[in-house]
Amino acid sequence: MNRPANKPPARPPKPAPPAEQTDLQPAALGRSSDEDLMLRTQKGDQQAYSLLYERYSGAVLSYLYRMLGNLEDVESIGQEVFLRAFRFAATYRYPQKFSTWLFTITRNLAINHSRRRKRSPVRTVTELNLEGADRTSDPYQVAARSSDDAERREEIGRVLEALDGLPPDQKEVIVLGVFQDMTYAQMEEITGTKAVTLRSRMFHGLKQLARLMGGPPPAEDK
């Protein structure tokens, strides 16, 4: 009697392929860098872009308030910044710093708006530890809401008022470099102005700010 031929052993099942990056849970997304979130946005991940909006909406509005000052203008342009950034997400080039790319869009929209309205920037309203303060065109009203200390309120009001008295190019470099804490390399990329020129504007702007406030001028940055 013939024995049946031995069957070859069954092959083990193939392991399941690793999960796509798009399957990340919200907690994992929240730990992603800005640049990685932007890459995911380019692939159509709207949740990733929502996180970028949450991270940068405050900084964008803060910059626009300083440069434009009008509440309605700022809110409208702030929305346009993020709509345009999403619409033109394909133009972002990894590993370019996302914040630099976003603030380039923000600055261009602010400049275009100022040209259309043909008016100079008005008073700033945020930062200088003023988080949570109501946004208003009067620096002394901002100061009154920002501190219980009378001397501190006076200082805040004077700084905000003096900043608005600077030429626009000096005001811009102080807003970007001091209030937004950007490096000269980032500011150079955003503004298209050489770092040496930005340093000069920063020095003369701070010097003028000190003069307007009656304080000592800053030491020149070597």
- Kindly tell me if the per-residue pLDDT of 14 is higher than 90: no
Residue 37 lies in a domain: yes
Instruction: Tell me what the mean pLDDT of segment 12-34 comes to.
Output: 61
Residue 118 lies in a domain: yes
Q: What is the CATH number of the domain that holds 66?
A: 1.10.1740.10
Residue 76 lies in a domain: yes
- Kindly tell me if the per-residue pLDDT of 21 is higher than 60: no
89-98, 102-111, 134-143: which has the minimum mean pLDDT? 134-143
Residue 73 lies in a domain: yes
* Distance, CA of 75 to CA of 72 (rounded, Å): 5
pLDDT digits (tens, 9 = 90+) for 43-86: 999 999 999 999 999 999 989 988 887 777 888 899 999 999 99
Report the pLDDT value the prediction gives residue 5, as an integer from 0 to 100: 55
Which residues, 6+ apart, have CB-to-CB distance to 129 below 8 Å?
A: 146
Q: Mean of the per-residue pLDDT values for the chain?
A: 76
* Distance, CA of 126 to CA of 99 (rounded, Å): 19
Q: Are 126 and 60 in contact (CB under 8 A)?
A: no
The domain tally of the chain equals: 1
pTM: 0.60
Residue 15 lies in a domain: no
- Kindly tell me if the per-residue pLDDT of 150 is higher than 60: yes
Residue 96 lies in a domain: yes
* Distance, CA of 171 to CA of 68 (rounded, Å): 11
Residue 156 lies in a domain: no
Q: Are 217 and 210 in contact (CB under 8 A)?
A: yes
* Distance, CA of 60 to CA of 55 (rounded, Å): 10
Report the pLDDT value the prediction gives residue 13, as an integer from 0 to 100: 55
Range of the structural domain that residue 45 is part of: 32-122
What six digits make up the tokens of 44?
């159509």
The residue type found at 147 is S
Nearest to 212 by CA among 177, 166, 171: 166
Residue 114 lies in a domain: yes
What six digits make up the tokens of 206?
């701070």
Report the pLDDT value the prediction gives residue 41, as an integer from 0 to 100: 95
CA distance to 23, 86, 91, 104, 156, per residue, from 47 (Å): 11, 12, 19, 23, 38
Report the pLDDT value the prediction gives residue 71, as an integer from 0 to 100: 72
Whole-number percent of the chain with pLDDT over 70 = 65
